[in-house]
Structure 1
């Protein structure tokens, strides 16, 4: 499917049928899509000044997330892999055309789709508001409302940093994002942004590309800081435990983007190369790439604050589906519950499906619970290396420490299952 993400006056040559997308504006028609208008307004309201290249990168990310919502996987021959063509209007099409293949490869790794990107002139120029400000924050962090970013914020503040917290607003997490930003380090500068994608018809549910726009929000804010204006490089912290970041397939059928790759070292490494090529002095860091979630909790610099806030954070992959409660049985919930056991503190989180060992389709027989049980059974019977397979086959992965981290992470999950009697 083809999407044209450009002002209505721009019509590419040999224009076949395509979904027209209005970036930073209203669709104006039920047959069109739109994204980014609310984010543009909020950035302007806070009187921030992202650079032109960062704004182009945000435009690309908004086009990608619109395609991710608007192109369904069902009609694909294999029910998953999509063919997506994007024509994107930017301010510097000459430069971005040199990055079309690296971007397509990065997106292919993230979503396991086939992407083709073309860049057109005439992209929206961000107009700095009067009285624009250059915040004094020394870095940027992505603050999701999740447990890992909570730990990350606490640790960064304890280390003397003053990060600008950037949140991608999600229903059920907006208030806790505000609360966390207000508490961490005595209060962090904070902005909440949303892509606000609107597409004709029912959106695709899988949405593997959302992390790109979250990072693009962070890049845009990083280039608006005083440190960036002084010519410094600005760290952008993407705080995710290494076990989930690697997301090694638990079983042979959980391959590719069926498991998310939003903080995978290869994905972040490929993005960093694109940022470097664009002369965007923003450095992506995941400080917890070789730590399990349990180790993140145990090593957190402010145990009292973490103990106060941990239970109200969000980890569940189905949080909205269960009326903003943790399901307790998806892989992220199991990793969270195992982390509390490793931490040694009572888990006050309310789980919809609490007794994992109960022998029915909602508990021990649920797919994600079975997958974890099967992974640990394979490790016991065939060894860890056989289970791991080719999961570390990437030039961006520090193999030795990562392998040890995955062993420890799987052991945390094994303890969880033994504690609840999962068989």
Structure 2
């Protein structure tokens, strides 16, 4: 597959073009990409978004959209795509200085080859309208110091609980994303409602954003986390002070180590891999955006997160309202009336293993608890069993390098990997070879 040249636009007034264009990608066209960022009221935010943060936000939407609509099977190796994107930015000097860094970060995150060419733009009419409205508003302003990613998953719910048990609710903003279907948004709404009740929060503590590429054909979506985090980063840029961005994710899944060599592709998503986060931190710093990214559970397994939760009773009451599955809407496609966990994807299995480790009652709904629903479930179980059978703590140093370079805190990463694998081993030991036949 030869290089694909893409001209990206965010404004219908943009008439830029190049002779070698293979496709245009217009964020302003709802038939191509739909997002709700500008539908929100930002009058209670103290300042307008910084130019570099706005650029980062738009770049993340464009990258995510292209990731969804260009199938990997067209790559020379049926995986890696070669893409050159022409991008409009406000702060062109900073982006030209960080061009190589952005490319390196996204190459690692998505497994593709990205090349960018930036062009100067000015504020759009919509941006100026929102800017003027924000600056003229006399609404009482937010004064937060922490933004926490809030996906609706078990990890993010524990992260929210732990924060709310330690600091004032007025200091925190929770940011969510949903991309269609009911498999995510309904869980986010249920959890936010219960958090509001338990901790006397306001709906203003939560911001939820829709962003979805139309006609998406590629399901690996490795760049989704970049888009998700960029929503939080652009909000943080309005505060004109250093903001901590908390990304709650257990250490095992953060490492994204495939259980077997056959699962080195889409299963290794790198969503919060330490190397990717390191590159993202460097990029944010280079752009002079005052955001510090932190994963407080980098060296904690999912089971340990449950056991150490600062309000365990509240967590137990709501564990069925959290969603960990990688494809929660699949059951609805098969006629189920209630969204549920599949039970056999890797996030589901890690979830089940962690709840077993914590010895609490799992009230969640799973469509398949014994890997018997079909070929995919049985294949997954076989892969997991092979992975835990080959698990050897003496080889952990080499294993944790499989999904990306780990150069610091080696012993801590080895420790969380070993403990996480032991949680998986304890769960999978319940399934004997007869299940695979």
- What's the TM-score, normalizing by structure 2? 0.86
Comparing 343-352 with 254-263, greater Cα deviation is found at: 254-263
Partner of 1:216: 230
> Which residue pairs with 1:52 in the alignment?
51
For residues 76-225 of structure 1, the aligned pairs below 5 Å read 76-122=75-121, 124-125=123-124, 126=127, 127-128=130-131, 129=133, 130-131=136-137, 134-162=141-169, 163-170=172-179, 171=181, 172-184=183-195, 185-187=199-201, 189-198=205-214, 201-224=215-238
Shift in Å at residue 18 of structure 1?
Answer: 3.0
- The alignment status of 1:15 with 2:19, answered yes or no, reads yes
Q: 1:271 aligns with which of 254, 276, 280?
A: 280
User: Structure 1 pair 362/208, CA: closer, same or farther in 2 (3 Å)?
Assistant: closer
CA contact (8 A) 2:256 2:403 kept: no
Find out whether 1:366 has 2:379 as its counterpart.
Answer: yes
Provide the secondary structure at the position in 2 that maps to 1:253: helix
Give 3-state SS (helix, strand or coil) of 2:262's partner.
coil
Say if 1:35 and 1:62, in contact at 8 Å, map to a contact too. no
Q: Distance between the aligned counterparts of 2:395 and 2:405, measured in 1?
A: 18
Structure 2 CA distance for partners of 1:412 and 1:119, relative to 1, 3 Å: same
Shift of the 34–2 alpha-carbon distance from structure 1 to 2, 3 Å rule, reads farther
**Matched residue, 1:40:** 38
Matched, 1:339 2:354: yes
CA shift in 2, pair 1:278/1:374, >3 Å: same
Q: What is the root-mean-square deviation of aligned Cα atoms in Å? A: 2.4
Q: How does 1:221-236 map to 2 (within 5 A)?
A: 221-224=235-238, 228-229=239-240, 232-236=241-245
> Shift of residue 135 of structure 1?
1.2
Q: Show the 5 A alignment for 1:311-326.
A: 311-323=320-332, 324-326=339-341
Shift of 1:282: 0.5
Match of 2:335 in 1: none
Q: Could you list the per-position Cα deviations for residues 125-163 of structure 1 after superposition, in whole angstroms to 9, with x for gaps in the alignment? A: 433224266312221011001000000000011111532
Q: In 2, are the aligned partners of 1:329 and 1:366 still within 8 Å (CA)?
A: no
Distance across 2 between alignment mates of 1:236 and 1:46 = 19
Q: Given that residues 165 and 181 in structure 1 are in contact (C-alpha distance below 8 angstroms), is that contact kept between their aligned partners in structure 2?
A: no
Question: C-alpha separation between the residues in 1 aligned to 2:153 and 2:375?
Answer: 27
Deviation (angstroms), 1:178: 2.7
1: CA distance, partners of 2:398 / 2:307: 27
The TM-score, its normalising length taken from structure 1, stands at: 0.89
Structure 1 residue ranges without an equivalent (≥5): none
Q: Deviation string for 1:157-202 (max 9, x for gaps)? A: 111153200000243222332332343332251111122323xx55
Give the number of aligned pairs. 406
Match of 1:355 in 2: 370
Query: What whole-Å deviation, never above 9, does each CA across 1:250-301 have from its counterpart, x for those lacking one?
Result: 1112225541111111111100000000000001111101111000000000
Is 2:400–2:417's contact at 8 Å kept on the other side of the alignment?
A: no
**SS in structure 1 of the partner of residue 370 of structure 2:** coil
Is the CA contact 2:400–2:406 (under 8 Å) kept in the aligned structure 1?
no
Q: Give SS of 2:382's match.
A: helix
Alignment of 1:239-250 (within 5 A): 239-250=248-259
State which drifts further: 140-149 or 320-329: 320-329
Tell me what 1:2 maps to. Answer: 5
Contact between 2:396 and 2:417, CA under 8 Å: does it hold in 1? no
Aligned residues of 1:292 and 1:405 also touching (Cα < 8 A)? yes
Contact kept, 8 Å, 1:318 with 1:327, in 2: the verdict is yes
Shift of 1:77: 1.5
Distance 1:342 1:389, change over 3 A: closer
Q: Distance in 2 between matches of 1:144 and 1:233?
A: 23
301, 305, 310: which one aligns with 2:310: 301
